[in-house]
Amino acid sequence: MSTESTGGDARMSTGSSGDITVVHLMRHGEVANPDGILYGRLPGYHLSDLGRRMADRVAEHLASRDITYVAASPLERAQQTAEPIAKAHGLDVGTDERLIEAANVFQGKTFGVGDGALRKPGNWKHLVNPFRPSWGEPYVDQVVRMMNALNSAKDRARGHEAVLVSHQLPIWIVRSYVERRRLWHDPRKRQCTLASLTTFTFQGDRIVSVGYTEPARDLVPAHLLAGAKPVRGKGKAFGA
C-alpha cells in the first residue's frame, strides 16, 4: 500500500534544485503490552515477537536502498526497530531525542475503548482543548522538533537515504504540517500503522514529495490498521 502527494509552499515545493535526499520516518513495531497501558515515554516497553518480525520485514524491504544514516527515538521499542535496518547497511543506530513519543498526561494508565476513562471527572480537565491538545505536548512543539530531526537527517544523508524510527503521533503531526492539513484530528484516522514508512523526498533543502508504505501490513493486527473500528479493551493509543 502506498500513497504520494506533492504541494507548493516553503514546506513542500517542486521548485528547488540540488541533490535528491530521502528520509524515511518509520513507526516502531508492535510492543509487548499485555496490560493495555498507555506507555508513552515510560521505559521498559520492548518489541513483542511480532514486533521484531515487523522490524525484520522492513529491514528486508529497505535492504537494497542507499541508506547511509539510521537513528531512532531513545525509547526501547524504537531502538529495537531500527537495529535490523542499521545492521543490514553496516551502520550503527544513532539516538535522536527529538524523535521521542509525544508527552501525555494519561501515560501509565489504561485509556481505551470501554474502560470508562472519559466518565472519570478527574480526567475532564485534561480534555477541554483538543486543538492544542490539553492532555499532552502541543502539536506545534511536535512539528518543530520533528522538522528539526528531518532536516538534520537530510543533512547527514545528503544525496542518499536515511531512516528515522519514531512514534505514531509525532510522525502523523509532521506529515500533516508538511501536507498543509490542520494538526488536530481524529486519532482513528491516522495513516501511520505499525512499522509503516512515511517517506519525505528532499530536492536540495526542500521537501518535494511525501510517500507512505506499509511493508509489514500483513503482520499488523486488524484493529490497529488505519480506520479500523475500535475494539473494546484494545485501544489504539496503546500501540503509539
Residue pLDDT, tens place only, 132-176: 665 689 999 999 999 999 999 999 999 999 999 999 999 999 999
- In three-state secondary structure terms, 86 is helix
pLDDT of residue 42: 92
At 83, give phi and psi (nearest 5°): -55, -50
C-alpha cell of residue 191:
495513516
Nearest to 30 by CA among 169, 189, 225: 225
Residue 7: what pLDDT? 40
Residue 228 pLDDT grade (very low, low, confident, very high; cuts 50, 70, 90): low
pLDDT digits (tens, 9 = 90+) for 104-134: 877 676 655 445 455 555 553 445 555 566 5
Q: Extract the C-alpha cell encoding 219.
A: 503482520
Provide the strand spans (E) within 38-160: 67-72, 94-95
**Residue 74 — very low, low, confident or very high, per pLDDT cuts 50/70/90?**
very high
* Residue 55: closest CA among 226, 221, 197, 240: 197
Q: Which residue has the cell 522538522?
A: 147
For the entire predicted model, the pTM comes to 0.84
% of the chain residues with pLDDT over 70: 74
Grid coordinates given for 229: 473500528
Picking from 8, 153, 137, 177, the residue whose alpha carbon sits closest to that of residue 94 is 153
In this prediction, residue 236 carries a pLDDT of: 43
Segment 40-69 shows an average pLDDT of 96
pLDDT of residue 148: 98
Looking at this protein, which amino acid is placed at residue 149?
Answer: A
Question: Helix, strand, or coil here: 64?
Answer: coil
